[in-house]
Structure 1
């Protein structure tokens, strides 16, 4: 059974959207309905904005030590509830349970780190140009934050938003991905149970473009943070410019791997295969292409294919599984598109290149060999 009830968190109160609109949450490994995800209306978003301003005024006046105490307790609660939160994460995201458990542990560790950093947000003394003048720089929280987190790391993406803001003395409105809402809700409950004042952390869901544009247009938030695609990052940064909001963007990557002639090939293959198929390849730093020295090219291809074919694919709740499903059917279509495009341009499928099974969004670990330049 799915462990979490999905609700909005506004001004310290868990609630449904005021118009009853929602969407279903699907387990990508089984295609079973896990829960419903409520959508926030504009009225709900207005309440969240007002709550974040009220929460900021309270949170920023607390000492760094007081904020640290609450965040440290929240980290303890995340750690204590790690197994349950990891199960929630695996059921909604699909990744292997061991990987999910490690990610939730990271959430606890990161919360402690940000709490400690909050105690060290030092100012400085600037040498003056005139005698008898002392120039002091003080660091102050920038204000309420609006943050948007991607689905591929439901715990670590979320915790960087929450704990980064709280450690700096800011309140936050977080919109997690609707594909993976339960992990964020479970983490938010830990902060609430640790004594976080109402309004300091607010959680909303809804149609992404509508929610983001509405929140960013408000004069209340002073900072925007996104983990997501480059296209969305460009859009949000343009919207934030209208009200001169500060932005922090963690966007998509396109990572190459270069394999030299003198590389330890077995060690290299063990490393790159693990990183390539981590979270079914749905990672911004996942290797996307390999440039291999001709002296080791054939051995690299053979070794990579052999390792990929041995990966155990299935429901992440199975302890033997090494790779889970894609997040949604649209990603299966995208994979088919990548393979079709590559083969049309001369590439050869060495292994994989097709969907797996008739239930769940599984795609075989895939390796394609390009036609070498001559």
Structure 2
């Protein structure tokens, strides 16, 4: 843990084992916070906020930039450890770290541009000023699938806006969070501005959210957990950013570049073994292109090499744990029982580790669990459609609304799809949601609020009107 500028090991604290999902072996032990340690972290964050909120934006920017430089220099080591405790292939893990450094640099600059405004008054004797001020101590909860980048998104926005935070990262893949804390520590971040705790998730979240010193909650994770935390925060009238799960639809029109679409989707779908909240999962392909697309997509997926993330040539690593393997297997069996065809894969791999084959299911029914529940794994369902109205209706049928995708060369189709898809992010003919300068977030059950873009600061700032009679 990292509390008030000090790193705390297991010592006399309770602990839990950390496993390598690619081999099943134990790779470390993680200290777990009790109520006392959580209270210490909150108090430290509050003390630090009273100073950090008044710190010059230039000083805050310099510290964020120094941390970004350290992250770049340490990317290979951090990425290797992510592969060991999370499972993704090494090139994906290192790429996650490097892109996070760029994200931090962008926030370092934009944090210098948080402006208020002067509003002309109706009387010459009145001066009206609108300020945007940091909200206070933030409680942040980040997921295991992108342990470095998802945590850093919250840290960057909070610190750049003048807030401090207590972060509970993922107990399954903690090495990235420790490395993040070390980078900020070495960059000269004042004690208490960033605090890291681990523990029983439900107990940690309840205590953090209930604290009157915590004024903002940021969560990335599943819809059920997000709704529970949102209810706790709403009872305390606390600001929230909720980036929850998705079940991303893909619409492939028959006028699209079919070979290119199939190749791109095969690579994108199975990155991080499909354990991505924006992973394309429900494919709707216009009937005139259906056979060609399926042939190309199946061929591309058969070429994906599954293996240990540190092995050269590995294209897809293990799932996070055995529970994920059992979930994917149950979804495949349910689809097959309802008459769907398993075109590729469909089985867990034997031996050590939590591996499952990249799997394609053809023509699953709308009642199949796969078409209603986010699989969060290397599994995709493909259905033909005749009419764009029907494809849009099916794409929008579920309560999720995070990411969506479409492939078409028709400007008319592209415009209609972009307007009618119910999602916070619509990608047409490419995948363009990663840059720091654009907002990332969903609608409906997929949450609210954005990370990235100028919108990233909205959840961390309060608006204050000052009206003064001279």
User: Is the pair's TM-score, using the shorter chain for normalization, greater than 0.5?
Assistant: yes
CA distance in 2, matches of 1:76, 1:293: 47
Give the one of 218, 224, 229 matched to 2:211.
Answer: 218
Following the alignment from structure 2 to structure 1, what is the Cα–Cα distance between the partners of residues 110 and 188? 20
* Contact 1:79/1:108 (<8 A) preserved: yes
SS state of the match for residue 177, structure 1?
Answer: coil
Q: Measure, in 1, the Cα distance between the counterparts of 2:117 and 2:312.
A: 51
Q: Distance in 2 between matches of 1:38 and 1:116?
A: 35
Out of 260, 267, 276, the residue aligned to residue 267 of structure 1 is 260
Question: Structure 2 matches for 1:139-288, cutoff 5 A?
Answer: 139-288=132-281
In the TM superposition, residue 319 of structure 1 has moved relative to its aligned partner by: 2.6
CA contact (8 A) 2:284 2:384 kept: no
Which of 348, 352, 358 aligns to 1:359? It is 352
Whole-angstrom CA distance in 1 between matches of 2:18 and 2:298: 34
CA contact (8 A) 1:29 1:94 kept: yes
Measure the CA separation in 2 of the matches of 1:25 and 1:199. 26
Q: 1:344 Cα deviation (Å)? A: 1.4
Q: Tell me: CA distance 1:239–1:18, structure 2 relative to 1, closer, same or farther (3 Å).
A: farther
CA pair 58-260 structure 1, distance change in 2 beyond 3 A: same
Could you tell me whether the CA contact under 8 Å between 2:247 and 2:281 is conserved in 1?
A: yes
> Equivalents in 2 of 1:296, 1:373: separation in Å?
9
Report whether the alignment pairs 1:46 with 2:34.
no
Which of 65, 83, 98 lines up with 1:90 in the alignment? 83
2:334 maps to 1:341: yes
Q: Give the length in aligned residue pairs.
A: 367
SS at match of 1:225: strand
Partner residue in 1 for 2:14: 21
RMSD: 1.3
1:34 to 2:11 alignment? no
Query: What TM-score do you get using the length of structure 2 for normalisation?
Result: 0.76
Give the secondary structure class of the aligned counterpart of 2:126: coil
**5+ long unaligned stretches in structure 1:** 1-7
Deviation track 1:180-222 (CA, whole Å, cap 9, x = no partner) reads 1110110110000010111110000011111001110000111
How far the C-alpha of 1:279 sits from its partner, in A, is 0.5
| Shift in Å, 1:160 | 0.3
SS in 2 for 1:173: strand
Counterpart in the other structure of 1:5? none
TM-score relative to the length of structure 1: 0.96
**SS of 1:326's equivalent?**
coil
User: Comparing 22-31 with 130-139, which one deviates more in the overlay?
Assistant: 130-139
